[in-house]
């Protein structure tokens, strides 16, 4: 019996030994297979478990004014993410975050309760929000580097600059037009994660390396600011619908300011109506009114009409076909200069009858009316200048004093600047240069002469006439400045009836355009006010705003007063005392 037991035990031990040997053999074989044959494959799988490929988007390039002041930039705005499996109590965490992120607690609780290792709680939060979340040190809550567009001057030049959307793509203005220039580059890169799924070695400087190019504008931040402030005061004081003010360097075509009112804040564009977004100085065409008389007179002189020629202005009423043209102040015989100074509609119509409609059309087109200026802002309108063959007699007369033709603000300031610039029309400029993200100059935009519209002699004669407008008896006396010879022209244009033929009763556009000083114009300014009331005359509404912008800009630019006759007389008197 004992022998049988021993034999059975021996067999069992042998079986166990064989089983153990087989197990060890299998383990050795598997270990050999893993270490020798599957090492590379398993290593790759391990790397995949702890590594992740991410798309890194570079920050958007900056928009700067001519003096390199920031107008549009990007600031750190982290995304708040979570690993729900690490969050101990979803409802408690959600309650703490809800107050900071301004997201309903229920919404956050739902996200934090998901069977997932990653959820997005809030995108591109403010620096204050990010700091507050970081201070809580909540388990499972992470801040992922990101940025968002920021406009440090709020509404300053907002219609020109525009804004970006949630994906940091330009939606309006220069942000939209130059999106390809400003947009940062994208790369895919592999980053390492720890056991909790947190990214370990992402290069935080990578976004900066991939940052887009920078736009340097011709806009001057200070002149833009004082133009906007003056325009806002003017529109409010005259209970107007809206307004715009443009400041240009006549010799280069550079726009130093393009101001609008009402304004909007591009940092919170969703809180404003879409009609406030567009750059109306480029997109909206309007009938310019009596400012057009300076171009009519320029055309007359170029076609051989002597500056001292006189035209009978019919004592304030002149019939053309079935229509009657009126002047605000009845006049008899007037020279070209007086027609401009007194702003006689009848005088302008008489001039056009003399030179013919083809000549008038030729010179208006040469000044740039009816054509896009290619200023570089999206949505530009060409205005309206019909072919002269389509002009009736009344059309011809009306166009000579700015009705029956439409123009944009940038067209009009460019044409005014051509008179100031000895008859040379410059292409208007908004972009000065483009810089790389390291500050290297990639492209420079130099002033471009479009054409010589009228001779320097003709331009000088018209400038002298425009100077008379701001003198005693002229319509623009409120634009006159002590120490400077100001040249300008008033305009009071009746508005067309929207969607109908004819003009709207009691609705006007008041404007004043001009430049200073006469002999060497430094700045040209156009102020346009839409539907002022009760007073709607350009000389009363727009001329004072012109003066304010010009005088403050001259002070800022340190442009010294001229030695006018009055100043010379005063200095001589002092020397003799």
- Indicate which residues carry an active-site annotation: 290
* Secondary structure (3-state) at 227: helix
Q: What is the dihedral of CA 177, 179, 231, 424, to 10 degrees?
A: -40
Q: Dmax over Cα atoms in the chain, in whole Å?
A: 154
Alpha carbons 487 and 238: distance in angstroms, whole number: 24
Contact 260, 243 (CB under 8 A): yes
Q: Which residues contact 101 (CB under 8 A, 6 or more apart)?
A: 80, 108, 121, 122, 125, 129, 133
Secondary-structure breakdown of the chain: helix, strand, coil percentages, each rounded to the nearest 5? 40, 25, 35
Q: Which residues contact 344 (CB under 8 A, 6 or more apart)?
A: 313, 327, 331, 334, 338
Q: Which residues pair with 524 in a beta bridge?
A: 248, 515
Q: Which residues pair with 479 in a beta bridge?
A: none
Alpha carbons 570 and 565: distance in angstroms, whole number: 9
Contact 281, 259 (CB under 8 A): no
Q: Report residue 563: phi and psi, to 5°.
A: -90, 80
DSSP state of 8: H
Nearest to 90 by CA among 112, 115, 70: 112
Alpha carbons 390 and 224: distance in angstroms, whole number: 40
The per-residue DSSP string of 137-202 comes to --TTEEEE--EEEE-TTTTTTHHHH-EE-TTS-EEEHHHHHTHHHHSPPEEEEEEEB-TTS-B---
**Strand blocks (E) in 517-572:** 523-530
**63-64, strands of its sheet edge to edge:** 147-150, 70-76, 63-64, 214-217, 431-435, 441-444
Nearest to 489 by CA among 512, 472, 521: 512
> Can you read off the two tokens belonging to residue 99?
């107050």
* Secondary structure (3-state) at 249: coil
Which residue has 């001589």 as its token pair?
Answer: 572
Alpha carbons 46 and 567: distance in angstroms, whole number: 87
Q: Which residues pair with 491 in a beta bridge?
A: 511
């Amino acid at each position: 019996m004992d022998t049988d037991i021993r034999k059975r035990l021996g067999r069992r031990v042998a079986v166990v030994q064989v089983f153990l040997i087989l197990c060890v053999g299998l383990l050795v074989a598997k270990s050999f297979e893993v270490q020798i044959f599957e090492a590379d494959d398993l290593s790759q799988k391990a790397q995949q478990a702890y590594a992740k490929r991410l798309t890194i988007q570079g920050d958007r390039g900056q928009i700067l004014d001519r003096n390199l002041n920031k107008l549009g930039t990007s600031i750190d705005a982290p995304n708040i993410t979570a690993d729900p499996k690490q969050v101990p109590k979803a409802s408690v965490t959600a309650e703490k975050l809800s107050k900071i992120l301004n997201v309903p607690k229920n919404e956050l609780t739902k996200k934090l309760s998901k069977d997932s290792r990653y959820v997005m709680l809030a995108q591109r939060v403010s620096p204050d929000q990010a700091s507050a979340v970081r201070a809580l040190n909540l388990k499972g809550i992470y801040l992922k580097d990101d940025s968002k567009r920021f406009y440090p001057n709020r509404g300053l030049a907002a219609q020109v600059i525009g804004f970006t959307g949630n994906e940091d793509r330009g939606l309006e203005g220069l942000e939209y037009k130059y999106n390809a220039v400003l947009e940062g580059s994208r790369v895919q890169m592999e980053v390492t994660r720890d056991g909790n799924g947190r990214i370990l070695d992402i290069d935080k400087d990578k976004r900066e390396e991939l940052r887009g190019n920078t736009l340097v504008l011709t806009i001057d931040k200070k002149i833009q600011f004082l133009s906007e402030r003056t325009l806002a005061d003017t529109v409010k004081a005259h209970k107007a619908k809206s307004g715009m003010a443009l400041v240009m360097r006549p010799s280069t075509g550079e726009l130093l300011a393009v101001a609008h009112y009402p304004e909007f804040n591009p940092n919170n564009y969703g809180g404003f109506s879409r009609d406030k977004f567009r750059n109306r100085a480029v997109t909206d065409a309007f009938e310019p009114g009596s400012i057009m008389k300076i171009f009519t007179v320029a055309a007359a002189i170029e076609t051989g009409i002597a500056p001292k020629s006189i035209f009978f202005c019919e004592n304030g009423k002149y019939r053309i076909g079935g229509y009657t043209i009126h002047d605000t102040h009845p006049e008899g015989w007037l020279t070209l200069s007086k027609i401009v100074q007194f702003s006689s509609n009848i005088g302008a119509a008489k001039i056009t009858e003399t030179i013919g409609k083809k000549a008038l059309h030729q010179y208006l087109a040469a000044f740039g009316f009816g054509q896009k200026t290619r200023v570089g802002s999206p949505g530009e309108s060409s205005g309206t200048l019909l072919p002269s063959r389509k002009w009736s007699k009344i059309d011809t007369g009306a166009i000579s004093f700015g009705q029956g033709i439409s123009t944009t603000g940038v067209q009009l300031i460019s044409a005014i600047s051509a008179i100031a610039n000895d008859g040379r029309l410059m292409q208007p400029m908004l972009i000065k240069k483009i810089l790389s993200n390291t500050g290297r100059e990639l492209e420079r935009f130099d002033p471009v002469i479009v054409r010589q519209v009228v001779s320097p002699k003709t331009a000088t004669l018209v400038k002298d006439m425009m100077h008379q407008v701001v003198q005693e008896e002229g319509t623009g006396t409120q634009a006159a400045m002590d120490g400077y010879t100001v040249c300008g022209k008033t305009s009071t244009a009746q508005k067309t009836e929207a969607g109908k033929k004819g003009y709207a009763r009691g609705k006007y556009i008041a404007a004043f355009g001009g430049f200073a000083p006469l002999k060497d114009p430094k700045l040209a300014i156009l102020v346009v006010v839409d539907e002022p009331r009760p007073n709607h005359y350009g000389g009363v509404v727009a001329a004072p705003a012109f003066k304010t912008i010009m005088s403050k800009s001259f002070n800022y630019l340190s442009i010294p007063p001229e030695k006018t006759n009055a100043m010379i007389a005063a200095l001589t008197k002092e020397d003799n005392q």
